[in-house]
Structure 1
Amino acid sequence: MAKTSASPETAGKGPLSQKVSLRQKHRLSLTPAMRMGLRVLALPTETLTEEILREAEVNPCLMVESWPTSSAYEVALETAAAPEGLSQSLLRQLGMQRLDADVKEAARVIVAELRADGYLDASLEELVSDYGIAKPLLAAALAAVQSCEPCGVGARNLAECLALQLRDAGLSAARAAQVVACLGDFAEGRWNRVMTALKVSEEEAQRIGALLRGLSPYPVNTTFEHLSTRVPEVVVERGPEGQTSVRLNPEALPTLSLAGAGSDLAQQTEQARRIIEAIAARQATLLRITGAIVDHQARFFATDTASMTPLSRADIARMLGLHASTVGRALAGKALLFRGHVYPLSQFFPSSLGPLDAAVSSFDAQRRIRALVMAEDPEHPLADEEIRTQLKKDGVDMARRTVAKYRKCMRIPSSHERRRRKVSRTGRGQPVRAQSTP
């Protein structure tokens, strides 16, 4: 089992309290400290650091003793051309909308609750209970988030994700809902049933079917999330005999302390104490979850085999006796440092392909696809169907469209494009390498 060790940091109204300032509008079901804990747990590391600074500026009882010092990954943060994160992008877009202050505040809560792939796991009822925000405000905030790019962000399930994309493609809300209700018929090619349900011609049904096939099942592609430079909050180390240990990265977050204050600052003192305790609880939860990940993905961490087994957030929740939403919040926007590389925690949750008794993770499937492309004949690149056949021989059975999806996610060109590039370049015959590995 991975060994974990905690950091010595354990545990006025500023930004960290703003997300729960609407509690007067709904009967509270959680204490202020619990709501603060939920909020702090959900924030990405970089965002939490920014809000700690803003909180310290308005709360004299919250002292920042030290900021992270310069290190290798900070140099990477300063020099890497990392894309804008999902949270930052959404907050920027929301800032451009004409929203009431209460709606904008509720929208920030929803953004913090989003999974890395853009889905919203929590229902509005759960958010009402967790944050004490009135449901009409949350509904308006969700509509604002779902109007942002990427299309489909904020969806609560696949049907809603596809419906949002259909509306973006020009269908009315009512028509998009009708199409989504017929997904099974579209998938099985039951065109007569589609034509009857939608009251359209066969040509129109085929057109909508082609539109559906071009949609993404996820609002955000997380396959390349590990390419984005981010601050690792946890460090995983491998000892000389292959044993692994997990510890907090002392350079990830500022060191905080509670300043002594008189009775006239009791409210600010309590707020500062809640923040410090919430951060300590966040760090403890991250250590537990990372330790469970390291134990489950032992082949990746304890050996030189870059391989992962299927793992779900529900699996980790059961292992640790946590609620699935807690695991989701803890994973969002967090990363670990291992052997000089930064990995998002979400990367260690590859889906399962094939029967349960011989399941292969999507991570390993992508590695195998890339290996086949790297080893192919430069003059005769493998088509997606040929890759599918090769994988099936190795016990990995997937559809051709799944091969194509993974190939595109790894930014590997089609066989026709690979051949064209190889023929046109000097030193023909050298394989075109995929631009990243899963």
Structure 2
Amino acid sequence: MSLSPRLEFRQTQSLVMTPQLMQAIKLLQLSNLDLVAYVEAELERNPLLERQSEPEGEGGAGAERAGEGVLEVAVHEVHDAAHEAHGEDREARAADWLEDRLDSSRSAIEDRLDTGLENVFPDDVGREPAGPAQGAEAPAYSEWAGVGGGGRDEEGYNLESFVPAETSLGDHLAGQLTLALTDPVDRLIGHHLIDLIDEAGYLTADLASVADKLGAPLARVEAVLATIHAFDPPGIGARSLAECLALQLKERNRFDPAMASLLSHLDLLARREFNTLRRLCGVDEEDLAEMVAEVRRLNPKPGLAFGSGVIQPVVPDVFVRPAADGSWHVELNSDTLPRVLVNQAYYSKVSKTTRNDREKAFLTDCIQTATWLTRSLDQRARTILKVAIEIVRQQDAFLTLGVQHLRPLNLRMVADAIGMHESTVSRVTSNKYMATPRGIFEMKYFFSSSISSSDGGEAHSAESVRFRIKQMIDSETPDDVLSDDTLVQRLRESGIDIARRTVAKYREAMRIPSSVQRRREKQAAAAGS
């Protein structure tokens, strides 16, 4: 073996994760909301990116459209006029020109309305109208001043300013606190406790730590909390579910020793151990059924009626509609696709004025990033559509007949059919939704493991098996409650080979109690009725 230095050539292939490739992968797995936020950030950062403008309708942006396009046109033209003006009075000349244009537009609108604009919108704030006395000077006043942006220096009269804001839970409780307590110290403690109440209505802090932080006696903090417990909605400020329910029952005058014993054993109620509860509460079967029905009518989260966050509805990425020939028409939701363009004209104009290598490098980076982003968005849309079409082809029976006919499907089957990698299909189906005639489903819903058939036929989807288990449990009677073994037997009779532990796993995943607990619940409901 020679130890002398020498030159060697080797040829290898490797996949390098470039920044552009990482960006494309990131865009592929983003939801439509996250994608919009990402594109908005790129539009602010990259001057060569711009939104694709919608085509304007007939009428354009003239001054005759109730003044809607007057300012916009004037601003663009005054920008050009300011560049053409020279000397020290350039800004003053441009301002005078703008005022003349606005006055002419104002006159044109007044002629069309056949009245003065001051008679339409009382925006003349700051003028000094004559008072009741003859020619007496009065302070400038307008009933629109400071309301809804109606002043001359504001953007315009805004009716949305008169829409009342949604009352939050904190504001609702603070208003009651002002009426219930007069002592400033108690009010301070009360406001601090209200700030510690979460959106569900529960107090999330320990009273001892609150008293230590505020430097107040614990008894005083407890007294203020007792006052908050009497506020609307009933059950607010509770520190546990049992206390929340107890406060609501006290407000209804339904809290007695038997009910207190029931609330102290909510774990037994959750397990439906009614025989033990009857012994602990000292009531018969009928009274216990009434108590349980009373508890079920209570609100375990009273704070959710106030100040809840904005619920963002699910916006589908793909629409699936039946076609006239019996097939399915699959299309992307254009509202979820960002429309961005690369401003090549601006790039050509600015690139001629670059003065150093730093500016050239910045422009080069911007044009490359913008070009790659538009290509990545286009490739993302095409990939989503391709995967959606294959899912619809595989699950045609589900769309036509229902969930019982959902076929077993995995990522590899779709990836092999469209010629892509499994990881790409996984990213495409993540946080993407499909609107079908049977509802809106996440794309991952259509991927389900297979369960073999007992007669050697086609395998069954796990989702369809769950649906059959739920159907059989929903149709059972108090005298004929199906155990897991019975469910296994009936499924095998219908051609589904499944183990008992799998049935138990599916039942627990659907939050269906065991047969013993279901029998107790059905018997209690039958006795109560």
TM-score (norm 2): 0.43
- Say whether residues 1:419 and 2:406 are aligned partners: no
3-state DSSP of counterpart to 1:235: strand
Quote the Cα distance in structure 1 between the aligned partners of 2:469 and 2:315.
30
Question: What residue in structure 1 maps to residue 329 of structure 2?
Answer: 245
Do the aligned partners of 2:403 and 2:467 also contact (CA within 8 Å) in 1?
A: no
Following superposition of structure 1 onto structure 2, how do residues 224-243 of structure 1 map, counting pairs within 5 Å? 230-243=314-327
Do the aligned partners of 2:404 and 2:465 also contact (CA within 8 Å) in 1?
A: no
CA RMSD of aligned residues (A): 2.6
Following superposition of structure 1 onto structure 2, how do residues 99-138 of structure 1 map, counting pairs within 5 Å? none
Quote the Cα distance in structure 2 between the aligned partners of 1:280 and 1:353.
38
Question: What residue in structure 2 maps to residue 3 of structure 1?
Answer: none
Letter in 1 for 2:24: G
Question: What residue in structure 2 maps to residue 200 of structure 1?
Answer: none
Question: What residue in structure 2 maps to residue 330 of structure 1?
Answer: 428
- Say whether residues 1:345 and 2:443 are aligned partners: yes
Question: What residue in structure 2 maps to residue 381 of structure 1?
Answer: 481
Could you say if the C-alpha distance between residues 257 and 425 of structure 1 is closer, same or farther in structure 2, counting changes exceeding 3 Å?
farther
Following superposition of structure 1 onto structure 2, how do residues 32-431 of structure 1 map, counting pairs within 5 Å? 32-65=19-52, 230-259=314-343, 260-261=346-347, 262-263=350-351, 264=359, 265-303=363-401, 306-339=404-437, 341-355=439-453, 357-425=457-525
Equivalenced residue count is 243
Structure showing greater radius of gyration is 2
Quote the Cα distance in structure 1 between the aligned partners of 2:430 and 2:328.
23
Letter in 2 for 1:277: R
Letter in 2 for 1:373: I
Quote the Cα distance in structure 1 between the aligned partners of 2:503 and 2:34.
36
Stretches of structure 2 that go unaligned for 5 or more consecutive residues are 1-13, 55-311, 352-358
Could you say if the C-alpha distance between residues 395 and 428 of structure 1 is closer, same or farther in structure 2, counting changes exceeding 3 Å?
farther
Shift of 1:234: 1.0
Letter in 2 for 1:380: D
Deviations 1:187-244 (A, max 9, x none): xxxxxxxxxxxxxxxxxxxxxxxxxxxxxxxxxxxxxxxxx96332111111345320
Could you say if the C-alpha distance between residues 49 and 424 of structure 1 is closer, same or farther in structure 2, counting changes exceeding 3 Å?
farther
Quote the Cα distance in structure 2 between the aligned partners of 1:427 and 1:283.
58
Deviations 1:39-87 (A, max 9, x none): 21122333222222222222222223479xxxxxxxxxxxxxxxxxxxx
Deviations 1:154-175 (A, max 9, x none): xxxxxxxxxxxxxxxxxxxxxx
Letter in 2 for 1:243: S
Could you say if the C-alpha distance between residues 311 and 305 of structure 1 is closer, same or farther in structure 2, counting changes exceeding 3 Å?
closer
Quote the Cα distance in structure 2 between the aligned partners of 1:398 and 1:65.
55
Stretches of structure 1 that go unaligned for 5 or more consecutive residues are 1-26, 68-227, 430-438
Report percent identity of matched pairs.
31
3-state DSSP of counterpart to 1:358: coil
Could you say if the C-alpha distance between residues 423 and 54 of structure 1 is closer, same or farther in structure 2, counting changes exceeding 3 Å?
farther
Quote the Cα distance in structure 2 between the aligned partners of 1:251 and 1:312.
29
Deviations 1:286-317 (A, max 9, x none): 11111111111110124456521111110111
Do the aligned partners of 1:56 and 1:63 also contact (CA within 8 Å) in 2?
A: yes
Shift of 1:337: 0.9
Quote the Cα distance in structure 2 between the aligned partners of 1:33 and 1:379.
65
Shift of 1:271: 0.8
Quote the Cα distance in structure 1 between the aligned partners of 2:528 and 2:53.
55
Quote the Cα distance in structure 2 between the aligned partners of 1:242 and 1:382.
40
Letter in 1 for 2:491: L
Could you say if the C-alpha distance between residues 384 and 64 of structure 1 is closer, same or farther in structure 2, counting changes exceeding 3 Å?
farther
3-state DSSP of counterpart to 1:406: helix
Shift of 1:395: 1.1
Do the aligned partners of 2:399 and 2:437 also contact (CA within 8 Å) in 1?
A: no
Question: What residue in structure 1 maps to residue 137 of structure 2?
Answer: none
